[in-house]
């Protein structure tokens, strides 16, 4: 009750009590007890009715204001409504507090909505696939990248079951485990439906608790997997290549120790075989070193510089000419204008030596190797090495630049081949921003062409 109300009530009492006394007193003085008692009763009833009326009016006012407050609170925070500054004093204070709180709640909700929208936009445009599920494994969120990986039509409606969206058992197992255990999980899997691509999935519990749903992110690791496979294949190939010469060296050394040394007719031959396999091991080691240097991306410290094509060709020819002479193969160098390429001399020479070495190795007796070069209109220099050798079948052409690939192993090995030469050529030329191509006709010969950027 407010102070004003108290004063009014007190004043009414002060007026009505003497008036009632004034009204009843003559009957008391005259000894008329019954009329006095009846008048007292009437005064009491009047007072009670007034008090009841007052209380009722006040209760109505409270109920009305309380109802308004309830409606206001129920509409929070979505609708913006205003509370009238009226009603009982105590409730008016509560209403003002509620009104202030409503403002704060609305601002908080707006900020949360903005934050949520931002996060959703980031997740939606991420290259990694992202999916979130609730505790019942129903989809809460699924971005475009995730849907694409699983060939699911987009947009993925919220509320769809995980089983409708994901058919990959590994992924489903991961999500189930995360939802039930509440701990992070990872896993790798290959997807035949996505052209055999490899994915790594990392899942986290939503809210960091069990039964709170889970979020999973997919990383495409096809490149990494492929590299790992290439590395494994490479190690297997190297071991295989080393085994043959090592076994031969060991076998012949044991034969020599077991009496071969005294076998005057054969001991020299045994040692020659050991030497030839040792040389082969040396060739393999040299090629492997070249490969590992290229793999380590050991870029020359100096920037690319103009390299005279004629000088590089002359130097490469000098390296292979004794071998060519031994096989009766003629090396013909066309007298073209000296062009300059932009690159590194030692790399160009390395590539040319490998091409010339092959052109001699896979040539026929009295065959020839022709070297030509020219400048193209689009600012490139092409250098081609053409031989009159055995040629390469069409189906092998696309694989000759692969590591350890040999068309005819029986012919390549005795000739000292490792199957690494052309892969080195390709890498070396590509490192200088160029390309290498091949044309060949079985039984007639092959032409390998290097394309490099001209220096000016
Ligand atoms: P290798 O050390 O065996 O020569 P390369 O990588 O240089 O390895 O060549 C791969 C394979 O390509 C060779 O084993 C050979 O079968 C084929 N090849 C390369 N160059 C020629 C060529 N000029 N003529 C015919 N076959 C060739």
More confident residue, 63 or 209: 63
Section 41-54 average pLDDT: 88
Q: Report, as an integer, the average pLDDT of 257-263.
A: 90
Same domain (yes/no): 378, 314: yes
SS3 36: helix
Q: Are 447 and 386 in contact (CB under 8 A)?
A: yes
Query: What distance in angstroms lies between residue 202's CA and the mean position of ligand 1's atoms?
Result: 45
Residue 456 · residue 340 · CB < 8 Å: yes
The number of the ligand 1 atom at minimal distance from the alpha carbon of 401 is: 6
Mean pLDDT of the chain: 87
**How many whole angstroms from 423 Cα to the centroid of ligand 1?**
10
The predicted model gives 296-319 an average pLDDT of 85
> Are 161 and 234 members of one domain?
no
74 and 92 both lie in a single domain: yes
420 lines ligand 1 (CB under 6 A): yes
- Asked if the model's pLDDT at residue 316 lies above 70, the reply is yes
In a domain, 422, yes or no: yes
Determine the Cα–Cα distance for residues 202 and 276; give it in Å rounded to an integer. Answer: 53
The residues pairing with 370 across neighbouring beta strands, listed in sequence order, are 332, 386
**Same structural domain, 6 and 41:** yes
In a domain, 405, yes or no: yes
State whether the beta carbon of 400 lies less than 6 angstroms from ligand 1.
yes
More confident residue, 271 or 83: 271
Mean pLDDT of 248-263: 92
Last residue of a domain, one of 220, 248, 283: 220
Q: How confident is the model at residue 208 (pLDDT cuts 50, 70, 90)?
A: low
The CB of 421 under 6 Å from ligand 1? The reply is yes
Please say whether the dihedral angle defined by the alpha carbons of residues 123, 128, 129 and 135, taken in this order, is positive or negative.
negative
Q: Residue 106: inside a domain, yes or no?
A: no
List residues bridging with 332 in a β-sheet.
370
Does pLDDT of 363 surpass 70? yes
Closest protein CA for atom 23 of ligand 1? 359
> pLDDT digits over 388-431, tens only?
999 999 999 989 999 888 887 666 666 667 888 999 999 999 98
Domain presence at residue 423: yes
Angle formed by the axes of helices 222-257 and 267-295, nearest 10°: 160
pLDDT at 254: 95
How far is 414 from 403, CA to CA, in rounded Å? Answer: 18
Indicate whether 33 and 89 sit together in one domain: yes
Both 254 and 329 in a single domain? no
Same domain, 326 and 412: yes
Is residue 83, in this structure, part of any structural domain at all?
Answer: yes
> Is 346 found in the same domain as 410?
yes
Residue bearing the bigger pLDDT, 337 or 422: 422
- Position 189 scores a pLDDT of 87
**CATH code: domain of residue 246:** 1.10.287.130
- Whether 42 is in a domain gets the answer yes
Q: Are residues 240 and 325 in the same domain?
A: no
Evaluate whether 313 touches 373 at the Cβ level (below 8 Å).
yes
Is ligand 1 within 6 A of the CB of residue 324? Answer: no
The last residue of one of the domains, among 220, 243, 259, is 220
pLDDT at 250 over 90: yes
Neighbours of 115 (CB within 10 A): 10
Does 196 share its domain with 230? no
Residue 334's pLDDT is 85
Q: Per the domain annotation, does 57 fall within a domain?
A: yes
Query: Do 310 and 292 sit in the same domain of this protein?
Result: no
DSSP 85-97: S-S-HHHHHHHHH
417 lines ligand 1 (CB under 6 A): yes
Q: Which two tokens stand for residue 252?
A: 């012949």
* Final residue of a structural domain among 178, 199, 220: 220
Structural domains of the chain, count: 4
Tens digits of per-residue pLDDT, 365-388?
899 999 999 999 889 999 999 999
pLDDT at 351: 95
420 neighbors 287 (Cβ within 8 angstroms): yes
Domain that holds residue 260: 226-296
First to last CA, the chain: 100
Contacts 24+ apart (CB under 8 A), 202-209: 203/174, 203/175, 203/178, 204/178, 205/178, 205/179, 205/181, 206/132, 206/134, 208/182, 209/182
pLDDT at 119 over 90: no
In the predicted model, what is the mean pLDDT of residues 419-447? 93
pTM greater than 0.75: no
> Percentage of residues in the chain with pLDDT exceeding 70?
95
Residue 113 included in any domain: no
Specify whether the CB–CB gap between 351 and 426 falls below 8 A.
no
> Ligand 1 centroid to 123 CA: how many Å?
50
**Same-domain check for residues 27 and 81:** yes
């Amino acid at each position: 009750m407010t102070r004003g109300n108290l004063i009014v009530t007190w004043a009414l009492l002060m007026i009505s009590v003497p008036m009632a006394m004034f009204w009843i007193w003559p009957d008391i003085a005259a000894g008329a007890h019954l009329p006095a008692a009846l008048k007292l009763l009437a005064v009491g009833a009047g007072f009670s009715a007034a008090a009841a009326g007052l209380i009722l009016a006040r209760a109505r006012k409270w109920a009305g204001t309380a109802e308004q407050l309830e409606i206001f609170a129920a509409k929070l925070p979505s609708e913006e409504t205003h509370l009238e500054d009226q009603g009982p004093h105590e409730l008016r204070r509560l209403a003002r507090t509620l009104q202030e709180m409503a403002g704060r709640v609305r601002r908080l909700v707006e900020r949360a909505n903005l934050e949520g929208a931002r996060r959703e936009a980031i997740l939606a445009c991420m290259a990694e696939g992202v999916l979130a599920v609730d505790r019942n494994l129903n989809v809460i969120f699924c971005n475009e990248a995730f849907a694409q990986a699983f060939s699911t039509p987009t947009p993925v409606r919220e509320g769809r079951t995980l089983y409708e969206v994901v058919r990959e058992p590994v992924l489903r197992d991961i999500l189930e485990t995360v939802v039930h255990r509440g701990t992070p999980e990872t896993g790798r899997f290959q997807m035949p439906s996505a052209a055999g691509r490899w994915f790594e999935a990392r899942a986290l519990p939503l809210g960091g608790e069990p039964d709170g749903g889970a979020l999973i992110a997919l990383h495409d690791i096809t490149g990494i997997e492929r590299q790992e496979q290439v590395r494994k294949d490479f190690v297997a190939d190297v071991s295989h290549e080393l085994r043959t010469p090592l076994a031969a060296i060991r076998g012949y050394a044991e034969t020599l120790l077991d009496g071969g040394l005294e076998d005057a007719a054969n001991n020299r031959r045994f040692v020659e075989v050991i030497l030839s396999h040792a040389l082969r091991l040396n060739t393999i080691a040299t090629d492997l070193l070249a490969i590992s240097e290229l793999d380590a991306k050991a870029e020359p410290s100096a920037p690319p510089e103009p390299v005279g094509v004629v000088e590089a060709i002359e130097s490469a020819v000098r390296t292979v000419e004794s071998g060519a002479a031994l096989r009766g193969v003629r090396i013909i160098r066309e007298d073209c204008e000296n062009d300059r390429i932009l690159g590194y001399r030692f790399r160009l020479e390395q590539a040319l030596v490998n091409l010339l070495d092959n052109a001699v190795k896979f040539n026929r007796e009295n065959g020839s190797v022709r070297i030509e070069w020219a400048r193209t209109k689009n600012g490139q220099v092409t250098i081609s090495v053409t031989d009159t050798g055995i040629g390469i079948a069409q189906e092998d052409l696309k694989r000759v630049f692969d590591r350890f690939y040999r068309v005819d192993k029986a012919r390549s090995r005795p000739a000292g081949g490792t199957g690494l030469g052309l892969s080195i050529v390709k890498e070396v030329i590509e490192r200088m921003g160029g390309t290498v191509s091949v044309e060949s006709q079985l039984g007639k010969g092959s032409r390998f062409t290097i394309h490099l950027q001209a220096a000016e």
